Chain A
């Protein structure tokens, strides 16, 4: 190109609305959020003072917030383990020429199309805590099949209740992880498997040394995406239990503080969430940008 402006002028012009809008609504609002979190704006009264990191220090020492973090941790571990397990299992079974594969795939994936609010209605029923004669939902099934001793009050259980809340999340997102893994399996060239077989590799060795290494980038992506979703879980908990203490996570705690106009606290919780999310986002974006460069 003769003139530099001809090169970068038009693209930037066309992109500028997006850049400006996102500059304001993503970056600008994140900055505004941090600013609010450094003040003592705890009510509708706008008079505020700068209080430095006081809100963060107070929050990280608060039992209620630590409880919500502990809940989130239990939820995340169960959620990740469940989705990865079922996602991998389904993809693995469907990979090798199953007839009616499309039907199985569609069924496993369909919960993704449903909102957490809608599925929350039925999961609230399934995870009903009544036991014995009054039991309905999953407890009734356990009772009927003679597994009555397994009955429990699900999310009402003190420590492990969050594991019960992870069940709907596993139901909803295992299909997504399956789709990721399935694409991963299909991305492995047949020649690679054939070559390994020709060399006399056993089925286990084929997986151990050929398939698993090929799938590990996919597994990592799935792990990052699922952890990231888990971090901001809100809809599901609000619809299954509402914003109650037993199942509180940072995102629902933030809702409680914001609706009571404690802006400083809700902004502080939000910043903590963003920092936690950044642990996943930033390496991911850097890696993306790098592979981008390498491929250009």
Chain B
């Protein structure tokens, strides 16, 4: 949920609860049929871009023709006009060649960024949820504010700082930036998560006189797995999909896949749209797989109050 709802228990891996059957159906099948029809029509509408991506990516440049642009490929990738001639696979291999180095770099960026922000967020969230101290709310708001600013508001000095310090235009700078600006959301997700889980154990260990760090390491951390899954997925997806920081702080030679894909696509004339579309599919694959396999955790992060930039 949004921040307003954070006092409610548990966004963490919480999928949307299923509605209980509210009342017996009155067997009015026309209404139900209509509803399902509308829902299914919307499924098709939402999937249109996916269809276009797949179909276009499979058409060799020679077969691209506005009149048949919505149709299935005339020849499938395993059928070529002349032996060894161009096929739809060529789009995919060209896109893969163009994107492969940046995909490797993006993994090197998104995985550590997610892990580090999650760990820091977990410590912050623990302190903010379970330790009463003066002005705790003020501190929390102070941290949270960073999540809502348009990053443009810090970009000019950030770019200047980068050149003053001589930081490289590659993923190492982006890693730093993603960890820093990921702190607010990760803190928020964990704080909400810790508020939601019962922690008698923690209270007990406090009574036993264990210090805060010890309580965190031995009691809280082992209970935090679901919170970590949500946060890591969220941060991974954000770092993978980020384009704003990538544009301002990195270059194509050292930047992430979003930048490489944009270059591939902006160069694309109508004729080799196929390569750009194959590239878009390749570049989206990791986050889509995460969404398909771990969808409920993805939604957990979404609902804990995030703003997609």
Residues of A that sit less than 8 Å from B by CB: 7-8, 10-12, 14-15, 17-19, 21-22, 25-26, 29-30, 32-33, 36, 86, 90, 93-98, 101, 104-126, 128, 130, 133-137, 140-141, 144, 171, 173, 175-176, 179-180, 182-183, 185-186, 190, 193, 217, 221-222, 224-225, 228-229, 231-232, 234-235, 238-239, 242, 250-251, 254-255, 258, 263, 266-267, 269-271, 273-274, 277, 280-281, 284-285, 287-289, 291-293, 295
Inter-chain contact B247/A292, CB cutoff 8 Å: no
Q: Which residues B124-159 have CB closer than 8 A to chain A?
A: 124, 127-128, 131-134, 136-137, 139-146, 148-159
Query: Which single member of B131, B244, B298 contacts A234 (CB below 8 Å)?
Result: B244
Residues of B that sit less than 8 Å from A by CB: 1-7, 16-22, 35-36, 38-39, 42-43, 46-49, 52-53, 56, 66-67, 69-70, 120, 123-124, 127-128, 131-134, 136-137, 139-146, 148-161, 180-181, 183-184, 187, 211-213, 216, 237, 240-244, 247-248, 258, 261-262, 265-266, 268, 270, 273, 276-277, 279-281, 283-284, 287-288, 290-292, 295, 298-299, 302-303, 307-309
Inter-chain contact A121/B19, CB cutoff 8 Å: no
Q: A136-B69, A140-B70 are in contact. Are A10 and B211 (CB under 8 A)?
A: yes
Inter-chain contact A113/B180, CB cutoff 8 Å: no
Cβ distance A256 to chain B, nearest Cβ, rounded Å? 12
Inter-chain contact A258/B248, CB cutoff 8 Å: yes
Q: Which residue of A lies closest to B273 (CB)?
A: A125
Inter-chain contact B291/A110, CB cutoff 8 Å: yes
Cβ distance B132 to chain A, nearest Cβ, rounded Å? 7
Cα A108 to Cα B43 in complex, Å, equals: 7
Cα A234 to Cα B244 in complex, Å, equals: 7
Cβ distance A22 to chain B, nearest Cβ, rounded Å? 5
Cα A207 to Cα B53 in complex, Å, equals: 40
Inter-chain contact B4/A254, CB cutoff 8 Å: no
Q: Which residue of B lies closest to A267 (CB)?
A: B156
Inter-chain contact A11/B243, CB cutoff 8 Å: no
Minimum-distance CB pairs A-B, first 6: A115-B241, A32-B157, A113-B291, A29-B154, A8-B133, A136-B69
List A contacts of B161 (CB < 8 A): 29
Inter-chain contact A18/B149, CB cutoff 8 Å: no
Inter-chain contact A30/B7, CB cutoff 8 Å: no
Q: Which residue of A lies closest to B306 (CB)?
A: A225
Inter-chain contact A30/B244, CB cutoff 8 Å: no
Task: List 14 A-B pairs, Cβ < 8 Å.
Answer: A7-B133, A7-B134, A8-B133, A14-B212, A21-B180, A90-B42, A96-B19, A117-B265, A119-B49, A122-B49, A175-B46, A179-B303, A186-B17, A238-B247
